[in-house]
A and B are shown apart, each in its own frame.
Chain A
Amino acid sequence: MSEILAVEARHLTVRFGDFAAVKDVSFTVRPGEIFGFLGANGAGKTTTIRVLCGLLAPTEGVVRVGGIGFENGAEPIKRKVGYMSQKFTLYDDLTVEENFDFTSSLRKLDPAIAARRRQELLDFISFSRPLDTFVRDLPGGLRQQVSLAAALLHDPEIVFLDEPTAGVSPAARALFWALIRKLAASGKTIFVTTHYMDEAEYCGRIALMRSGELIALDSPEGLKRSTFPAPLYELSPRSEGARIRIPELKRDPAIASLEAYGIRFHVAPRSEPEWERALPELRGDFEIRRIQPSLEDVFIRLVEGGNR
């Protein structure tokens, strides 16, 4: 274990009064990894990120970011990380240049270095507009990219992105993820939360949180395998009458889980022989086809299934 871990959390607990937002969470992130952080709203994702960015002290447990903990206060951690919050990106009434200047002054960067970094980052995101454009005049996708560049200004080792693509068009999301992959390839560690399952597929590993607890941690493929060891089937009702049978099927002993996906349903059988027995009767009402489980199946099974 000579390699320094990018992020290390051991038995991390954060309490606000009597409420525990994060309960005994442990995980590690390797340098250069794209680490996805998934969970429903209020699962404790943002609280965990705030601790890792030095915005909040852990109530219990140990946190090390870039090999540095809280022993000398939060400032050494803040130097190591870049943070892009979900709520706020840039000041609307300032220009792109003024936003950059503000961030580099707060980080006390040398003006010459800051100017060079700024140009590199603007090239990196292929920013072609005038620097005196007001942020409010930028389209949503471009604004996220500029915000990412601002978070990278002090060349942090680890970048925390809290729902960076919320409310952005699909094309802009794809562009943003191309940037994220490029960053990871250049050695930066990316710690990202998202509600888009297609984005989660891009992550090297995914941590799933539910009510403050870490309930799963694996690669996307590993998560799919461990959550759905048996094959998954998609049921398309042939008629309205078939749809009415759904509540009854949910109680069927042959079926482990049944979730609605739009007008179709995803079914995980309890065992292959039982499923084979139930199949002929089901074919009358449903069109049935075998599918590969998606991360969405995993998410719904683990995160939302647990709340029922």
Chain B
Amino acid sequence: MKLSRALAISRKEVRHILRDPFTLLLALVLPVLTTIIFGYAIEFNMRNIPTAVHDGDRTLSSRTLLESFGSSRYYLLEPATGTPEAVQALSADRARAAIIIEPGFEARLRSGRGAKAQLIIDGSDNSAAGAILGYLAGVQSIAAARLLDPAPPPSAIALEPRFLFNPELNSRWFIVPGLTVVVIAILSILLTSLTVAREWENGSMELLLSTPVEPVEIIVGKLLPYTVMGLAGMFLIYLGARVVFSVPFAGSHLAYLLASALFLAACLGQGLLISVLLRKQQLSMQFAMLSGLLPSILLSGFIFPIEHMPLFFRILTSILPPRWFILASRQIHLQGAGIADIAQPLLMLSLIAAALVGLASRKFKRDLEP
């Protein structure tokens, strides 16, 4: 292997990149755009949930109860004239929840028979329903404290939840560290898969091979510019996360760089393998999109927790690089992990990257050597 020949290939590759608007656009705009989309548009925290309210009691107590809901910021109350109208607001999608207070609420409260109000939640959106329900307990205890004169005795066993690392359960803090995985997976797998396939498709691979250049020099020369580009993309997202969304970064930057580089190597290896096997740009592009996007969004723990997956998928995810990088990324960002804490993800990423790059190089070498 001669470095000068690998660098000659890198130089040519950089020229291709600089002169291809599509590649440049993909490399620079994709990270920025996805950070903004994911950061702003995807919101698991719910505020001002439109709630239809029918107060059939119209007493001080019923108003206090409703006020407890209203002042929580989670519910936005909209009065309805009767139970049917409140339910209709739900089915017409004007409200996500409805609160119905029957006449006699205050009377039952005073007599100590236990007052009841009904909360109807739109169950068609699972995650929204879960969030609405989650806020309920807090509202209930506030209302109880206000309504009952001797405040109710605390339960014998009190569970007091406190969230570590992300006390407000800010979903952006959770999402943005995972975002890198999606962007880098698409970017690096796609671009590398195109670069080798292009040389096969337009016949220039044959010309390359008529010179004394070796397969390893082609691979190193091709991967170098995309490594730099991938790291630059990661840096862009990191900046966006820190500056725009104020995502905390509690852990070690060195550990993060290491995990990023290993994840990038795995993605480049994956892209290389695709293009070495398929040799057609169109096909490589489709396969790269599919194999880059699906695992990183669905099977990485980015959105759906891996612990809740069936056994088969839990095992499957452990051979997919995105799962390990997301794990490492969140531990570093939020839990303040250092290199020693993320030893397992680092090890797994190294193994997967080595396997992918090794496999691609071997297949490539076998195809090329006379």
Output the least CB separation between A3 and chain B (Å): 26
A108–B7 Cα gap in the complex (Å)? 11
B362 in the interface, Cβ–Cβ < 8 Å?
A: no
Please, how many residues of chain A have a CB less than 8 angstroms from a CB on the other chain? 29
Chain A residues near B209 (CB-CB < 8 A): 55
Q: Decide: A94 and B15 in contact? CB cutoff 8 A.
A: yes
Identify which of B47-55, B200-208, B333-341 touches chain A: B200-208
Which of A98, A101, A105 lies in contact with B4, CB distance below 8 A? A105
| Minimal Cβ-Cβ distance residue in A for B209 | A55
A277 on interface, CB distance cutoff 8 Å: no
In chain A, positions 91-123 with a C-beta closer than 8 Å to chain B are 91, 93-94, 98, 101-103, 105-108
**In the complex, A79 Cα to B211 Cα: how many Å?**
7
B205 to A, closest residue via Cβ: A88
Q: Is there contact, CB below 8 Å, between B5 and A54?
A: no
Known A88-B202, A91-B204: A81·B210 in contact at CB below 8 Å? yes
**B363 to A: closest C-beta gap in Å:** 17
A291 proximal to B (CB < 8 A): no
Q: Which residues from B are CB-within-8-Å of A74?
A: 369-370
Q: Is B8 an interface residue (CB 8 A)?
A: yes
Contact of B12 with A by CB under 8 A:
yes
Of B7, B210, B212, the most chain A CB neighbours within 10 A belong to: B210
**B residues within 8 A CB of A88?**
202-204, 206-207
Tell whether, in the assembled complex, residue B212 and residue A75 are in contact, meaning their CB atoms are under 8 Å apart.
yes
Do A107 and B20 contact each other (CB < 8 Å), given the known contacts A54-B370, A88-B203, A94-B15? no
Q: How far is the CA of A56 from the CA of B368 in the complex (A)?
A: 8
Instruction: Determine the chain A residues whose CB is within 8 A of the CB of B20 once the complex forms.
Output: 93
Residues of B within 8 A of A94 (CB): 12, 15-16
CB distance from B240 to the nearest CB of A (A): 31
Most chain A CB inside 10 Å of its own CB: which residue of B8, B12, B213, B370: B370
Which of B202, B203, B207, B210 is the one whose CB lies under 8 Å from A54? Answer: B210
- Give min CB distance, A21 to chain B, whole Å: 14
Chain A contacts for B207, CB-based, 8 A = 83, 85, 88
A224: Cβ under 8 A from any B Cβ? no
Q: Is B4 a contact partner of A93 (Cβ separation < 8 A)?
A: no
Interface residues on B, range: 20 to 34
B348 to chain A, nearest CB (A): 37
CA distance A204 to B15 in the complex (A): 42
- B212 and A85: CB pair below 8 A? no
Indicate if A64 sits at the interface (CB-CB under 8 A): no
> Is A57 part of the contact surface with B, judged by Cβ < 8 Å?
yes
Among A51, A79, A81, A91, the residue within 8 A (CB) of B12 is: A91
Instruction: Please tell me if the beta carbons of A93 and B210 are within 8 angstroms of each other in the complex.
Output: no
Whether the Cβ atoms of A102 and B12 lie closer than 8 Å is yes
> Cα distance A93–B14 when bound, in Å?
11
A195 at the interface (CB under 8 A from B): no
Q: Interface SS of chain A: helix, strand, loop or mixed?
A: loop
Flag whether B366 is at the interface (Cβ < 8 A). no
Question: Which chain A positions have C-beta within 8 A of B19?
Answer: 93
User: B2 near A: Cβ within 8 Å?
Assistant: yes
- Whether A103 contacts B211 in the complex (CB less than 8 A), given A93-B20, A94-B15, comes out as yes
A55 near B206: Cβ-Cβ < 8 Å: yes
Q: With A and B bound together, what is the CA distance between A85 and B205 in angstroms?
A: 10
Q: Within the complex, what minimum Cβ distance (angstroms) separates A183 from chain B? A: 18
A106 and B15 contact, CB distance less than 8 A: no
The answer to whether A11 has its CB under 8 Å from any CB of chain B is no
A70 to B370, CA, bound (A): 9
Nearest B-chain residue to A56, judged by Cβ: B370
Does chain B have a CB within 8 A of A53?
A: yes
| Distance from B10 Cβ to chain A, minimum over Cβ atoms (Å) | 10
A-side contacts of B7, CB under 8 Å? 105
Query: Measured between alpha carbons, how far is A70 from B369 in the docked complex, in Å?
Result: 12
Cα–Cα distance between A100 and B120 once the two chains are bound (Å): 75
- Give the complex CA separation of A93 and B206 in angstroms: 18
With A57-B370, A93-B19 known as contacts, the answer to whether A87 contacts B212 (CB < 8 A) is: no
For A75, list chain B residues within 8 Å (CB): 212
A49 to chain B, nearest CB (A): 10
CB-contacts of B314-370 with A (<8 A): 369-370
Near A by CB (< 8 A), chain B positions 1-54 give: 2, 4-5, 7-9, 11-12, 15-16, 19-20
Q: With a CB–CB cut-off of 8 A, which chain A residues contact B2? A: 108
Q: CA of A98 to CA of B8 in the docked complex: distance in angstroms?
A: 10
Q: Which residue of A lies closest to B202 (CB)?
A: A88
Complex: chain B residue closest to A95, CB-CB: B15
- Of A91, A102, A106, chain B has the most CB atoms within 10 Å of the CB of A106
Q: Does residue A181 face the partner (Cβ distance < 8 Å to B)?
A: no
Residues of A within 8 A of B204 (CB): 88, 91
Nearest-neighbour CB distance to chain A for B60, whole angstroms, equals 78
**Which residues of chain A come closer than 8 Å to B370, judged between CB atoms?**
51, 54-57, 70, 73-74
Q: Which residues of B contact A105 (CB under 8 A)?
A: 4-5, 7-8, 11
Shortest CB distance B370–A (Å): 4
Among A73, A79, A85, A101, find the residue whose CB has the most chain B CB atoms closer than 10 A: A85
List 8 tightest A-B contacts by C-beta distance, closest first. A87-B203, A105-B8, A88-B203, A57-B370, A83-B210, A106-B211, A88-B204, A74-B370
Known: A79-B212, A98-B12. 11 other contacts (CB 8 A): A55-B206, A70-B370, A73-B370, A85-B203, A87-B206, A88-B207, A101-B8, A105-B7, A105-B11, A106-B9, A108-B2
Q: List 30 A-B contacts (CB under 8 A).
A: A53-B210, A54-B210, A54-B370, A55-B370, A56-B370, A57-B370, A70-B370, A73-B370, A78-B210, A78-B212, A85-B203, A87-B202, A87-B206, A88-B202, A88-B203, A88-B204, A88-B206, A88-B207, A93-B19, A94-B12, A94-B16, A98-B12, A101-B8, A102-B11, A102-B12, A105-B5, A105-B11, A106-B5, A108-B4, A108-B212
B-to-A contact residues, CB < 8 Å: 2, 4-5, 7-9, 11-12, 15-16, 19-20, 202-204, 206-213, 369-370
